[in-house]
Amino acid sequence: MEDIYLKIKNLCPNCGGNISSHRLVNSLPCELDVSSDEESDLTKIKEKDVFYDNLYSILKNKGRLMKFEEYYKLYQETKSFYDFFISVLGSEPWSIQLMWFKRILKRKSFSIVAPTGVGKSTFISVASLYLANKYNYKILIVLPTRILVKQTYDNLVKFSKKVNLNIRILSKVNMKKLEFEEKLLKRDYDILVISNQFLSKSFDKIKSQEFDIVFVDDVDAFFKGSKNIEKTLQLLGYKEEEIRLAKEILDLKLAGKLDFNSNIYKEFLKIKEKKRGILILSSATGSLRGKRTLLYRELLSFSVGSSSSKLRNIIDAYVKVKDEEELNVLLKILNILKDGIIIFVPKNKGIEYAEYVYNFLIDKGYKVGLVHSNIKEVSDIIQNFAEKNINILIGIAHPYGILVRGIDLPTRIKYVIFLGIPTIKINISNLEKDISDLLTLSKLLIDILDNEYEKSNLRKLVNNINKNLKKLSSEAMILISDAFVNNKELDGFSGYLLKMIRDLYNIVSQKIKDTYILEKLNNHPDVSIKIENGHIYANVVDVKTYIQASGRASRLYAGGISKGLSIVFVDDEKLLKSLDSKLRWFLS
């Protein structure tokens, strides 16, 4: 069978023009940049360094050197760091460590969220020496304990001597207090190594100093009960009044009251455009929470990390499809992608529709595995997929579905297809006693209520319930859910929480009977109202399930972070806009 090549619009890595898929696979620019004869010569070159050198020369000699110049310089600089890393440690860096280094070269703040043993601390030390030596960067390393400060200082000195660098490394652990403070005041250092405690107690001694890079190792300890987030921003060059403005913008955003055309927002954008230092946070868990952490997203354009999106390298795509065309469009896509695919059926269509799609593809000759909670041989099916005996898996886009959370095959899963946007579907004409749906609907009502007193009381009740639900064990949560559905009574704390949930249910049930409220709900940008079988449903995008499920195609493994493609079948443009907006918010 003849190979099928796609023509892809505006994706040439050099000029940004149209390019064929086989050229992208071979790391080549489009036909305008590299001729067919030149392509033939380049594809014969096996050594990566020689390949890039030759491609660079061809583009430069033809006057076609554009975006590839930046990529080539990044490649050369990464190779230089690679060699430096080996000279310091006698071993090669991991692919993920090289990825971290590339982000620094691009002057991007980011968080290193990876388990212990991946080499976060080693990377910080080696990268600090390289960047201080090569670019004369001023670097701050903040560590959780004095013991780690000493260990890091000792390693920096040892590494520096090993490769004959003349780097000034300053730390309180290796000199008398007066000598340290004198050097600190004069900025007589290239790399400053301090503890969390020093930053908290002696911030006045360094708050006027600006750093090109601030490394924070173990952010979980660093931000516990302190204002260190604002302090790190100051050390990167942000003024106190700029941080105050960012807080104001954040408050407006969280309240849904930010006018993106306002003067205050335009002033904020000017602050973001100024060149600053970059921040690299290291964490084993990525579990950092709290309103202040969102300041990093506003000013530095990165998130500290979370359970769902800490490592993600996904192309998010969509195709508009009518219900009657869905399976035919699916076949066309599968004929191109062929293997390494997970298909997610919307939760509201359920197992029955997943089985229908499964049987349809089996009849068409595809090697497919169906995975859901009622199938006993799930492990065998997944094993067959891992061993390439199966090309496609089908599951349900449920937040705790097996294929959403329970599979990690970075070398196998390349593509994820959603047969509909993952949504939370709430029957508002016959509101069920589901605590999660109740809270979702309550938050929407808070957005649309006109009466500020009612809105305030509802918000307090929802916040109180959410706060107390977090204290529950899974067993207690099941007990309260059962009591709520079946009108049972509970004692103690569980009874107190159950009463609040019932109060909320009564308020929400009464409100959604009002046609005015229904109309306002229908006009809410994140709600799509549908009438099915005489019932009114509110559909809301389930963005966390989408991020978690699509993330199956982008995972951390020994070779780095795999890149994946997510394709969403769309039949509701309002929900598509909502998904796009929420993704930008979650992943910015």
| C-alpha to C-alpha distance for 17 and 350, rounded to whole angstroms | 42
DSSP H helical segments within 449-542, as ranges? Answer: 452-469, 474-485, 492-511, 515-522
Would the CATH topology of 90-238+276-300 be identical to that of 333-422+542-587? yes
What pLDDT is recorded for position 322?
Answer: 87
| C-alpha to C-alpha distance for 47 and 78, rounded to whole angstroms | 16
State which residues of the chain have pLDDT below 50.
1-2, 115-117, 225, 285, 287, 306-310, 558-559
What pLDDT is recorded for position 307?
Answer: 40
What pLDDT is recorded for position 503?
Answer: 93
What pLDDT is recorded for position 226?
Answer: 52
Q: Which two tokens stand for residue 441?
A: 């609907």
What pLDDT is recorded for position 588?
Answer: 53
Which residues have CB under 8 Å from 86's CB, separation 6+? 92, 93
**Which long-range CB contacts under 8 A does 400-407 form with residues at least 24 apart?**
401/372, 401/549, 402/371, 402/372, 402/373, 402/378, 403/342, 403/344, 403/371, 403/549, 403/552, 404/344, 404/545, 404/548, 404/549, 404/552, 405/548, 407/342, 407/382, 407/552
Number of H helices and E strands in the chain, helices first, is 25, 19
Q: Left (φ > 0), alpha (ψ -120 to 50) or beta: where does 369 sit?
A: beta
What pLDDT is recorded for position 315?
Answer: 87
The residue ranges of every structural domain in the chain are 7-65, 90-238+276-300, 333-422+542-587, 425-541
Specify whether the CB–CB gap between 527 and 288 falls below 8 A.
Answer: no
**What is the second-level CATH architecture of the domain 333-422+542-587?**
3-Layer(aba) Sandwich (3.40)
What pLDDT is recorded for position 259?
Answer: 85
The three-state secondary structure class of 5 is coil
Instruction: Go through 570-583 and write b for each residue having 16 or more CB atoms within 10 A of its CB, e for each that does not.
Output: bebebbbebbeebb
| C-alpha to C-alpha distance for 397 and 69, rounded to whole angstroms | 42
Answer whether 0.85 is exceeded by the pTM: no
What pLDDT is recorded for position 118?
Answer: 57
| C-alpha to C-alpha distance for 521 and 175, rounded to whole angstroms | 65
3-state secondary structure 415-446: EEEECCCCEEEEECCCCCCCHHHHHHHHHHHH
| C-alpha to C-alpha distance for 412 and 339, rounded to whole angstroms | 8
CATH homologous superfamily for the domain 90-238+276-300: P-loop containing nucleotide triphosphate hydrolases (3.40.50.300)
Amino acid symbol at 76: Q
Nearest C-alpha neighbor of 338 from the set 560, 565, 556, 550: 565
What pLDDT is recorded for position 67?
Answer: 93
User: What are the tens digits of pLDDT across the range 102-137?
Assistant: 999 999 998 886 544 457 888 999 999 999 999 999
